[in-house]
Amino acid sequence: MTPDPLLIVKDLKVYFDTDQGMAKAVDGVSFRVGQGETVCLVGESGCGKTVSALSILGLLPQPPAQIAGGKVFFKGRDLLELEQKDLREVRGREISMVFQEPMTSLNPVFTIGHQIEEVITTHEGVDQIESRQRIIRLLNDVGIASPEERMQDYPHNLSGGQRQRVMIAMALACSPELIIADEPTTALDVTIQAQILNLFKELQEDRGMAILQITHDLSVVAGVADRIYVMYAGIMVEEGSVWQIFREPCHPYTMGLLESLPGRRAKGQDLATIPGAVPDPANKPPGCPFHPRCRYVQESCRVQFPEMCDFSDRHLARCPIMYAKRKVQSA
Amino acid sequence: MQDSGSEHTLSTEALDLPARQTRLQEFWAQLRKNRLALIGLVIFVLFFIVAVTGMVLTTGTSPQLDSSLVRLQEKLRPPLSRPNLKSLQADEVPVLGIYLLGTDELGRDVFARMLQGAWVSLTVGFVAVGIAVLIGIILGGLSGYYGHSPVRVAQVFIAVLVVLVVTNWSRLSFKTLAVLISITVALAVFLLFSRKKEFGGPLFLLNTQLFSVDMLITGLIDIMLCFPSFFLILTVVALLPASIYNIMIVIGLTSWMGAARFVRAEFLSLREQDFVTAARALGVSDWRIIFRHMVPNAIAPVLVSATIGIAGAILTEAGLSFLGFGVPPPHATWGNILSDGKNYLFDAPWLTIIPGVAILVVVLSFNLFGEGLRDILNPKLRERH
C-alpha cells in the first residue's frame, strides 16, 4: 500500500431532488485509490457506484443532482471545490474515464482518429504529425490491428470490443494517473471481456497508472482488483483485499453476493439469490439499509445505523452483529 | 506520452500514409456515390449561376436584358417566336434576336423577367431561411442544452431594462438613462456574485428562480406558432415599406420555430448520450461539445427542413407578390410572373408553365440535395447507397 493515496473520497454524499423526495443515491461513501493500484467498487444496479464515479469528475448534471457533502481529494486538491475550468484540465489529463457502453460512447459523426486527436489537442498543443504518431501508437498499444487504416474509420465500422479499445485509447491519450472504468466490460461478451481486462492489466504494468473499476461482476473483481469496496444502497458496506473479501466475507450482503455466483451450488439446484430488492433511494428503511433482506437481522438493526467494524487488517464491514459473532467464535 | 513498449516501434513507412482525406474530399467522395443528391447539387449550382448572371444582366441603367421594357404591339408572343422587326424600334429588339420564353401581356420579355426573378427567389430563399435557421439553432440549442438552468427575477429585470433603454434611447433624458443603466449594471454584478449564496429579504426575492430557460423558449415558440404565419407576414409587410429586404427578414423572423424545435429535440436526446458525457469526462469544453459534437449530430433534420423552408420562402414571396404586398411591381419575381400569367392561362399557357416549372425544379433540387446531405452527414446512413 502506498503511503500517500492518489485519490481519497471522504464521506461523499450525492442526493437527487426528485418528485418522490430527496433520493440519497450516495450517502456517505469513503474510499481511497493508491498510486498504481486497481480498486474495485462492487454492488448491484442502483447502489450508487456510477453516481460516485461521475461526481468525482463533476459530471453529474446539477440540478437534479446535488453534492450534499464530502470531499474528493486528488493529489491533495479537492476536486469538488474546483472551478469548471480547472476541473476540465483535470479531466482527461489526470483522470479519465471509460464508459460502460462502447456502442454509444463514441460520437457517430467523427472518425475515431479525429476523436482521439481531440483529446490530445484539448490538453496539449501538439502539431498534426506528432498527434498522428501518438494516435497510431495508442491504437497499437490497445491492440487494434493496422491502426493507420482504423483511425479513419467511423465508430459504426468497428465491433463492440474494438470500440471499447478505442475508448481506452482515448482515455490513455494524455497519460492520466487515474482511469475510472465504469463497468467497461458489461456490454461485451465473455472472451472480449477477458481481453479487455488483460489489456487494462498490461497497460497498468506499462504505465503504472491507477484504475478505479466499477462493476457488478464479482468474477471481474477477483481477476483484477487489489482492493475491493462493496456498496449497498449508497453506502459502503464492506472493504478489504480480494483475499479477505472472497475468503471470509463479513457483511451478510457480501456473503449473499458470493453465494449468488453460479457454480457454488450442486448441479440441479436453483441458484442462490438474496431475497428482496434494493431499497428505493428516496425511501430507505431506517437503521441498516440491508436489514429487510438480511438473514441475521436483529432488533437493533431496524433502528440503529451500523458503524464500520474493523474485523482484521484493513478489513472493514458495516455489521456489528457479525462482528460480535466472529468475536465469540474466535474467543 | 511515454513510449510504452519496444515491440511496437513503428516503421517509418507506417507513418508515411496516404495523406488523410480532408473533410471536403471525403464529402465529395460521398456525394459522388449519391446520384440524386449530385443531380440536386448540379441543378442548384446551375440555378445559382443563372440567378447571378441574371442579376448582372438585368440591373443597371442600361441593362443587357431589360425586363421592364413594354412592347404592347408584341404582347403574348409564344416562346421561340421571332420579333416583328417592323413594329419595333431599334432599342426594343431583344438581345437574343428571339423571344426565348415568349412575352407577357405587356409584351415584356419573359426570359429577362425570369432571369431577374431567379435572383429574387434565390436571395429571398437563402436569406430568409438563413435567418430562420440561425435563430432556430441558437434558441433551440440554448433550450435543449441549458434548458434546466433557471431564469432568476434579477435576470428578467435586466432584460426589461435593456429593452427599455434600447427602445427609448433618444426619448429619455440623460439622468433617467444613467439611472437605468446603473441599475442594470448593479443587477448584473449582483447576479455574478450571488450564485452560491443565500440571501434574506428583498435580495432573496431578486435571486428567486422564476422559470427555466426551456420554458421561456418553448413558450416563445408556441406563441409564434399560434399566429397564422402568412397573415402575420401580411400585417408586418403592410406596415413596413415594400422592399425585398423587409420581406426576407420578415419571412425569416416568422419561420424559425420548426428549426428551433428540431434542434431542441435533438439536443435533448444528444445531451444524455454517452459520447457527450465521455467528451466531458475527457476534458472537452461545453462550447466545443455544443458546436463540434452536438450540432453535427443535430444538423441533419435542420438541413432537410431548411431546404424545404427555402422552397416555402420562395412560395411565400410569390404569394405576397400576388397579393400586391411583395416586391413592388416593375421588378419581376417568379411569383408575380406566375400570378400575372394566370389571367391568360388558356391564351398564353407559357406564362404560368415557365415560372411554375422553374419553381418546381428548383424546389425539387433543394429537396434532393437536402436529403443527400442528411445521408452524407450521418455516416450511419451511408451504407445504403
List, for residues A269-298, the tens digit of each pLDDT value: 777 778 777 777 777 788 888 888 888 878
Q: Is B265 on the interface with A (CB under 8 A)?
A: no
**Max CA separation in chain A (angstroms):** 68
Model confidence at B68, pLDDT cuts 50, 70, 90, reads: confident
The pLDDT of residue A190: 79
Which residue of chain A has the CA closest to B300? A109
Q: Flag whether pLDDT at B115 surpasses 50.
A: yes
A137 and B10 within 8 Å at the Cβ level: the answer is yes
pLDDT confidence of residue B17? 47
pLDDT in tens, B123-160: 888 899 999 999 998 888 888 888 777 777 777 788 88
Mark yes or no for CB contact B1/A138 under 8 Å: yes
Q: Tell me the CB-side half-sphere exposure of residue B67, using CA atoms within 13 A.
A: 25
The shortest C-alpha distance from A174 to chain B (Å) reads 6
Which member of A57, A61, A171 has the closest CB to residue B148?
Answer: A61
Query: What is the number of other CB atoms lying within 10 angstroms of the CB of residue B174?
Result: 7
In this prediction, residue B131 carries a pLDDT of 92
Q: Which residue of B has its CA nearest to A144?
A: B8
- B8 contacts A137? CB cut-off 8 A: yes
Residue-level pLDDT at B382? 59
pLDDT score, position B141: 86
- Does A88 lie at the interface with B, CB-CB under 8 angstroms? yes
Range in A283-297, B198-212, B349-363 the model is least confident about: B198-212
pLDDT at B21: 57
Q: Give the whole-angstrom CA distance, residue A43 versus residue A317.
A: 14
Mutate to test the interface with A, among B13, B192, B275 (most CBs of A within 10 A): B275
Tell me: pLDDT of B215 over 70.
Answer: yes
What's the DSSP call for residue A287? Answer: S
Q: Would you call A107 and B379 a contact, using CB atoms and an 8 Å cutoff?
A: no
Question: Cα(A305)–Cα(A308) distance, rounded to whole angstroms?
Answer: 10
pLDDT at B199: 60
In this complex, the residue of A122, A132, A141 whose CB is nearest that of residue B284 is A122
Return the percentage of chain B with pLDDT > 90, whole number: 3
- Which residues from chain A sit within 8 angstroms of residue B380, using beta carbons? 108, 156
Q: How far apart are alpha carbons A146 and A136 in whole angstroms?
A: 9
Q: Which of residues 178-207 of A touch B (CB under 8 A)?
A: 203, 206-207
Mean pLDDT value of segment B63-83: 78
What lies within 8 Å, CB to CB, of B13 at 6+ separation is: none
Most confident range (mean pLDDT) of B20-29, B123-132, B168-177 is B123-132
Contacts of B1 in chain A (CB under 8 A): 134, 137-138, 173-175
Categorize the per-residue pLDDT at B3 as very low, low, confident or very high, splitting at 50, 70 and 90: very low
Positions in chain A short of pLDDT 70: 1-3, 63, 264-266, 331
Interchain contact B297–A (C-beta under 8 A): yes
Would you state the pLDDT for residue B194?
Answer: 66
Q: Which of residues 4-43 of B touch A (CB under 8 A)?
A: 4-5, 8, 10, 14-15, 17, 20-21
Condensed to tens digits (0 to 9), the pLDDT of residues B256-266 reads: 888 898 889 88
Domain residue limits, chain B: 22-68+108-384
Write out the three cell numbers for A107: 460520437
Does A318 contact B at CB distance below 8 Å? Answer: no
pLDDT one-digit tens code per residue, A91-139: 878 888 888 877 788 888 888 888 888 888 878 777 778 888 888 888 8
pLDDT the model gives residue B165: 80
Instruction: Please check the confidence at residue B13 and state whether its pLDDT lies above 60.
Output: no
Question: B378–A136: do the CB atoms touch at under 8 Å?
Answer: no
Would you say A52 and A14 are in contact if contact means Cβ atoms under 8 Å apart?
Answer: yes
More confident residue, B44 or B193: B44
Residues B286-290: what's their mean pLDDT?
82
Q: Report the CATH fold assignment for B22-68+108-384.
A: MetI-like fold (1.10.3720)
DSSP, collapsed to helix, strand or coil, labels residue B253 as helix
CB A216 within 8 A of CB A204: no
Q: How far apart are CA B64 and CA B59, in angstroms?
A: 8
Question: What chain A residue is nearest to B4 in terms of C-alpha separation?
Answer: A206
Question: Which chain B residue has the Cα nearest residue A57?
Answer: B281
Q: Return the bridge partners of A39, or none.
A: A212, A227
**CB within 8 Å: A141 and B273:** no
Strand partners, A42: A215, A230
CA nearest B294 in A: which residue? A107
- Report the pLDDT value the prediction gives residue B12, as an integer from 0 to 100: 42
What per-residue confidence (pLDDT) applies to B46?
A: 92
- CA dihedral (B280, B285, B286, B292) positive or negative: negative
Interface A-B, measured as beta-carbon pairs within 8 A, has a size of 110
Mark yes or no for CB contact A93/B283 under 8 Å. yes
pTM of the model: 0.69
Closest partner residue to A99 (CB to CB) among B15, B274, B296 is B274
Verify whether the Cβ–Cβ distance B379 to A154 is below 8 Å.
Answer: yes
Single-letter amino acid, residue B52: V
Which chain A residues are within 8 Å of B285, Cβ to Cβ? 88, 122
